[in-house]
Amino acid sequence: MRRVGVEEELLLVDARTGEPLALSSAVLSAAREAGAAAAARGEGVLEGELKREQVEFSTRPVLRMGELAEEIVRWRAQAARYAAEAGAAVAALATSPLPVTPSTSPGARYRWMCGEFGLTAQEQLTCGCHVHVSVASDEEGVAAVDRMRPWLAVLTAISANSPFWQGHDSGYASYRSRVWNRWPSAGPTEVFGSAERYHQHVRDMLTTGVLRDEGMVYFDARLSATYPTVEIRVADVCLDPDTPVLLAALARALVDTAVRAWRAGDPPARIGVGLLRLASWRAAKSGLEGPLLDPRSMAPAPPEAVLDVLLDHVRDALEDNGDHELVREGVARLLGRGNGARRQRHLLRTTGALRAVVTECARLTTPASTG
């Protein structure tokens, strides 16, 4: 069974006002001693990101979804404690509902990005959720990347948690994904066909000089440059800690299903990048509140129908991994209570204040039961 790990980016906010706080240095300082001990045990550490208003953690790679749930809850609670020591709270929000002028973290790489990409980098205060799924080789990984392409937009819809931008309703469920796709290397990819063609494509991109390094290859799904994994990067950070577990189970099942098709000699669907971009846009716009594009036909369909198609596509892998019941119940729960975008908009309707949306989402990020 494939191991799975999750990276989550969290927003640093004022616990009373909901305003983003540029305190990542102080939070990381508070975490440093514990982080060193965690690193010595082979665990992840709390890290900084492009903007000083956010931090990131990475779970251990695990086999069981119950273990992953415990990891996410533990890390969120730890991040909240370190943030509190620095005078902040953490919120699993993919964009700041309140207006903010983000500040860039120190370092030559980040300075270069802001100098080269201007407002794209300067405004890029977005928090995502990345899922890593282990693969046996680059060849297997590229086979998975090629065959998952039509299905990734559905994960964006599931995770959508960024309806607000600079104090306004964006009109999207996942506006983070629209802001993220301003990067020149972001988004869906063509069919590569082999690991050699994938790596040649990456080399060609770096040769242009537009990208500083391989870390800036922001494909929706890519081979990790650090780990023997496929990294799926389409999701918003999710409000409830159980949603990234659902995403991880689905991501692993997509990789399993894709690799089985590759081994059976089944070619990837030849859906063009243009259609995949439309599917991504549709998922960002609708979330789970409106039509999505059916990954098989690229025709519009209700979100419940598209989720049924996804579950049917990965059913065998979910059952083999022992995740079918968890995913089925998770999807039903998500459709019932709504994803983060629906819940944020509901909070605004009931409270009338974006500040209240942020402070309540900070509370929901680390439920009291996490300690």
Where would I find the H helices in the chain?
A: 24-40, 65-85, 108-117, 119-122, 138-148, 152-159, 175-180, 195-207, 242-263, 273-286, 303-313, 315-321, 324-337, 340-351, 354-365
Tokens standing for residue 114 = 């802001």
Which residue, among 44, 56, 51, has the nearest Cα to 8 in the 3D structure? 56
Task: Confirm whether pTM is higher than 0.85.
Answer: yes
Using CA atoms, how far apart are residues 117 and 112, in angstroms rounded to an integer?
A: 8
For residues 53 and 108, the answer to whether their CB atoms sit within 8 Å is no
Q: What is the pLDDT along the chain (371 residues), one digit of tens a residue?
A: 999 999 999 999 999 999 999 999 999 998 887 666 666 655 557 999 999 999 999 999 999 999 999 999 999 999 999 999 999 999 999 999 999 999 999 999 999 999 999 999 999 999 999 999 999 999 999 999 999 999 999 999 999 999 999 999 999 999 999 999 999 999 999 999 999 999 999 999 999 999 999 999 999 999 999 999 999 999 999 999 999 999 999 999 999 999 999 999 999 999 999 999 999 999 999 999 999 999 999 999 999 999 999 999 999 999 999 999 999 999 999 999 999 999 999 999 999 999 999 999 999 999 764 43
Compute φ and ψ for 102, nearest 5 degrees: -65, 150
Domains parsed from the chain with CATH numbers = 4-370 (3.30.590.20)
